[in-house]
Amino acid sequence: MKKTTIIISLFVLLLTSCLGDDTIDYDYSSDTAITDFSLGTLKRRMYTKTSDGLKDSTYMSNVVCSKYKFCIDHEKGLIYNEDSLPVRTDISKVLCTVNAYNGSAIGYKKPDNDTIFNYNAADSLDFTKSLEFRVYAADGTSYRPYKTSVNVHQQYGDSLYWTNVGNIGSVPAKCKMIAKDGAVFVFDLNVDKDVMLFNNSFYAIHGEALQKSSDGSSWTTVAEEFPFKHLIAAGSTMIFAISDDNSIWQSADGKQWIADVMEGDEDYLPLENIYCFSKTVKSNLNTEKIIVVGNSPADADKAVVWTKIIEKSPDSKVYPWSRISYTRDTDYSLPKELNLSVAYYDDNLISVQNGKFLVSRDEGLLWQNDKKDYYLPEGFSQEESSVVVASSAEHLWMLEQNGTLWRGLFNRLAWAHQDGKK
């Protein structure tokens, strides 16, 4: 078979596998390559309840597959979708579009026999098992095979799956759990006062000193005589503390401190069970928002929420710390709890109280009992006890008072994390 190097070089540039991956220049025959593969609209079985909520019901929805791009690996002879189709998508009757260079003849074979069928875009194919597509050269006998798979998720992305990690033993009566580097650390707040994570190190007040640690066990002194009574927050570039007169100060290293700006009643600053979270503002990637949740002696019933905006561009406006005031919708505030614990997971603030998940989807303004997306795992033994929560990029962690540690997961967060999207 004649091979033309110049034509092949131009042709390979057109064969973009996996949308953006580099295609290696091989000396292939110019008329034996699949250049495009896509799926039509597929059916997906959905489950719901009847209107009276007593019976299960099913219905079919459409999955528009044009957004699921297929990778074509010419070297290994593979065609597949990296982003799996939604769970319960029916791939037993699939209309697919397959194009080959120069309109070459295309055939396919099923995994259970060697019969070669002519490909016809109007025929539905069964992809519950991988098919092999073949592109034939002009001589009618030479061909290039492509093993073709349609991947479908086997679990729901929006379902919360819990794993019992085991029992860690005795849990301090007043403790805080922080996730770091794939592990969770449990701190006794009577020893590690106001512990929080800053610049990938734990910071805490020990006696009169501010100390830091990379492993939660060995501590080094940052400031021997720390002039503040509480740490309140840590962002990406600053750590914040509360002075004896209830003003807020900031520092880039824990050693040199300058007064920050604040508006609102300083009596309502959180002084116990302080949890802070930092997030990048989606509308401006150079802006950071810090959210602090905790207990204040000035409010006997509700936890308090404070926020601060930090713009990182030169000469940016300085925004003050401000408290979310519950002047209305007080039924949707976060109740004050003796052992209050809060996590930030999937862009939601989460607290577990009396066996209920209280979730805020608006950064601390409104809190509601979320029974749809969040629920206690089977085997959870102490629904009425205090529960310590923490979060990492993929997981939601929950620690019972008896020492049982649970790891929760929304599958879609793990998928996004594995694909480098989050």
Q: What is the structure's pLDDT at 61?
A: 86
| Closest to 103 measured CA to CA, from 74, 133, 135, 78 | 135
| Closest to 208 measured CA to CA, from 221, 220, 224, 187 | 224
Q: What is the structure's pLDDT at 84?
A: 82
Q: Which residues does 114 contact at the CB level (< 8 Å), separation at least 6? A: none
DSSP, residue by residue, 222-285: EESS---SEEEEE-SS-EEEE-TTS-EEEESSSSS-EEPPB-S-GGGS--EEEEEEEEE-TT-T
Distance CA 146, CA 138 (A): 18
| Closest to 400 measured CA to CA, from 216, 183, 166, 194 | 166
AA letter at 241? A
Q: What is the structure's pLDDT at 155?
A: 60
What is the mean pLDDT for each group of 10 consecutive residues in the chain (422 residues)?
27 35 43 90 76 66 90 94 86 95 92 92 94 89 92 69 89 93 93 96 96 95 96 96 96 95 92 95 87 95 95 86 75 89 93 91 91 81 75 89 89 53 43
The two beta strands, 143-148 and 78-81, are parallel
CA distances from residue 94 to 89, 126, 344, 351 in whole angstroms, order as listed: 11, 6, 41, 44
Q: What is the structure's pLDDT at 24?
A: 39
Q: In sequence order, what E strands does 93-208 have?
A: 96-100, 106-109, 117-118, 131-136, 143-148, 160-167, 175-180, 183-188, 193-198, 201-206
The dihedral formed by the CA atoms of 190, 196, 200 and 202, expressed in degrees to the nearest 10: -20
Distance CA 20, CA 216 (A): 42
